[in-house]
Amino acid sequence: MYNYEALGGTEGKIGRQREREGAGTEYFWKKVFSYQKKITIMDSISCPGDKQKIQERKNIMIKAGIIGATGYAGAELVRLLLQREDVEIVWYGSRSYVGEDFASIYRNMSHILQDEPCKDDDMAKLAELADVIFTATPQGFCASQVTEDILSKAKIIDLSADFRIKDVEVYQQWYKLRHPTPQFIAEAVYGLPEVNREKIKGARLIANPGCYPTCSFLTLYPMVKEGLVDVGTIIIDAKSGTSGAGRSAKVPSLYCEVNESMKPYGVASHRHTPEIEEQLSYAAGKPVVISFTPHLVPMNRGILVTAYAALTKPVTAEEVKEVYDRYYGEEYFVRVMSPGMVPQTRWVEGSNFVDIAFQVDTRTNRLVMMGAIDNMVKGAAGQAIQNMNLMFGLLENTGLKQIAVFP
């Protein structure tokens, strides 16, 4: 009899179940990947105890390339992917550090990486080597590089705003850039797994959501979708750590400018506004216009959103909680808090989790909705990897189970 206990995990569980059902020692592994340069998806493997096949499955390898690897979001991708046994980073792209050893720039990875020089941003060349390409680059780069030939060879997960907004004129108005490849906008899938999971699975091009939109939308989505709030009254107050501004040197991000101080910025003009409005409009089934004000706070990581909207009918805290639970009860990364609790950025720092809370304000007939994420993980790299997992048929939380770092 085959020793299913030795396998453990899902495979062992399936095997033991089939054995109890009288199916003998044959059982099936769904979506087993065999990687050479690209991936061949096998429908099933009959395994009566073939240790070699078991070992091959353990050695599954996704070849990933990162362009913009030395920025904060890119380095976070490296940090998270290096912890996995099923991913090989084949390209550390950095226009600013070509030829320099990646670990000499980020010393926290020096014990893992040796002699990994940074490469340029040649996406066409990278597509010959990688199964998936992450572009953690400024707006305009991915759109200027992507071609049909590249998309036929590798999947792309773009962490910039190039393909998030479906109306190219809105993109050009807010980002002050001409979009060079608008033909790919319709195809791009907005990479918010909690909403677009099935579309993501079959996508070639993912528009990874922005940090503020991720936190804002997930906080508001169930209430907007169910019509519990008047979408014409939405106000979003958001606060972010300084890593959201990127790694390049800017006077507003200097220590003396940020420490012991808080300030609003991008008032009535922040570029994430149309992205939030577009996604909320899809949820509401009609155009949504919001007031959105972000603030810079003196911490490294984290986003805290507090959103306000008028209620469309009287509701109790229990009714609001039931709606949130209906939407997010099965979501691994979304944690809906009990009435009376509030989210804190320290409880999500370094993790891919989203903490959501709310308060019914009967005096003003408003609903106060609150959310917290790590802007570098769920707001950028972690969500990108969550999307990659879906695209390659893996468990969505693979490599993303890190618990928040505290203290």
- Return the active site residues: 211
CA distance 294 to 292: 7
Mind giving me the DSSP string for 272-325?
A: THHHHHHHHHHHHTS----EEEEEE-SSSS-EEEEEEEEBSS---HHHHHHHHH
Which residue, 91, 99, 103, is CA-closest to 136? Answer: 91
SS3 category, 25: coil
Residues in the chain: 407
- Dmax over Cα atoms in the chain, in whole Å? 70
Torsion of CA 184, 185, 187, 188, to 10 degrees: 110
CA distance 375 to 155: 23
SS3 category, 124: helix
Side by side, the strands of the sheet bearing 291-296 are: 263-264, 291-296, 235-240, 303-310, 366-373, 354-361, 334-336
Q: Is 235 in contact with 310 (CB distance < 8 Å)?
A: no
Q: Is 253 in contact with 315 (CB distance < 8 Å)?
A: no
Q: Is 91 exposed, middle or buried (0-12, 13-18, 19+ CB in 10 A)?
A: buried
